[in-house]
Amino acid sequence: MDALEVVEILVFPGLTFFVWLAFVFEWLDRKTTARMQGRIGPMLAGPRGILQPVADFFKLTSKEEIVPQFSDKLVFEWGPPFFFAAPAIGTIFIPVVGLNAIVSSPYDLLFILFVLAFSTLMAGMLGYASAGRFSTISIGRLVLQYASFEIPLLLAIVSPAVAAGNLSISGIVQAQSNFHWFVFVVPIGFAVFIVSSLAELEKPPFDIPDAKTEIAAGWMTEFSARPLAYVKLTESLSYVFLSALAASLFLGGTAGPVLTNVTILQDGIYLAYFLIKVFAIGFAIFAIKTALARVRINQAANLFWTVLTPLSLLQLGIVILLR
């Protein structure tokens, strides 16, 4: 590993870039929600409130850290950085400039599945470690929700891999150049992926684990100050991560329909395509989450087990037959 690679992983297009993107995403999320509700959203922090998530983050880091008496101190205090690490590591497998990611191996997708499972596991551990009543209820719901959305999500991720005949994300993106986007090949898989990622992100209509009106702030109830700042940042980062994953797997990622072979500024064009797609998927998720109300846990389980799992299986079958 040389110096350039370290810079790539830590600054651009690695960690710093994605953290910046996460802040922008959270701002866009709040703005979109506000606009859809007829409000104007954050206005004072920075131009048009763009620094609002940054202000929230730094304010949280400067507050007093409370560790509940009966909590598991080790996990409670050291868990949030690990929680943050899951999507942060996942992002380095996603191509941002060019058709190759910083790190790519033939088994990327297996690792991505591990990252998705690990972040849910970390959330569960953090919730249990804080030993609050609301957190415990929330973790029960989280595990049940995870058990219902994991299989459709997994099958939805696998179908573009089957279509490309490749398990590496860079390989899947390369297979989609020349406007051969997999959203046209596996449309059901794309829809299932979006719905399941709403559940993974704990956003409405699947915000069952942190239902504000029922169980306070869910598994985050006992967190304050710096751990809370990390947890909130991780949530936005997962947002970006899942949007980027959807863009790479289904919408061709950095590969665009036109201007694929100019000699100058090729990297800039790749980056522009990537950002346009990520923000498009982000906006779709913001709109869905603002427009819908929460479903009950049994309705969510029903939806995933009886509708989305058969659909994603059907999709997988179709893709295997078409190959």
Residues that bind other proteins (CB under 8 A): 30, 34, 37-45, 48-49, 51-52, 54-59, 62-66, 134, 210, 212, 216-217, 220-225, 228
Q: Report the residue number, 41 or 81, with the smaller CB distance to other proteins.
A: 41
Contact residues for 240 (Cβ-Cβ < 8 A; gap 6+): 18, 21, 22, 25, 87, 91, 278, 282
Q: To the nearest whole angstrom, how small is the minimum distance from the Cβ of residue 10 to other proteins?
A: 22
CA distances from 14 to 7, 231, 256 (A): 8, 19, 21
Q: Report the residue number, 52 or 309, with the smaller CB distance to other proteins.
A: 52
Q: To the nearest whole angstrom, how small is the minimum distance from the Cβ of residue 80 to other proteins?
A: 14
Rounded to whole angstroms, how far apart are CA atoms 105 and 86? 18
Q: To the nearest whole angstrom, how small is the minimum distance from the Cβ of residue 223 to other proteins?
A: 6
Q: Tell me the three state secondary structure of residue 177.
A: coil
Q: Report the residue number, 132 or 253, with the smaller CB distance to other proteins.
A: 132
Q: Report the residue number, 123 or 271, with the smaller CB distance to other proteins.
A: 123
Is residue 166 within 8 Å of 125, Cβ to Cβ?
no
Q: To the nearest whole angstrom, how small is the minimum distance from the Cβ of residue 144 to other proteins?
A: 21
Q: Report the residue number, 57 or 270, with the smaller CB distance to other proteins.
A: 57
Q: To the nearest whole angstrom, how small is the minimum distance from the Cβ of residue 89 to other proteins?
A: 27
* Joined tokens for residue 23: 């802040």
Q: To the nearest whole angstrom, how small is the minimum distance from the Cβ of residue 215 to other proteins?
A: 9
For 84-128, the three-class secondary structure string (H helix, E strand, C coil) is HHHHHHHHCCCCCCCCCCCCCCCCHHHHHHHHHHHHHHHHHHHHH
AA letter at 308? L
Rounded to whole angstroms, how far apart are CA atoms 73 and 52? 31
Q: Report the residue number, 95 or 132, with the smaller CB distance to other proteins.
A: 132
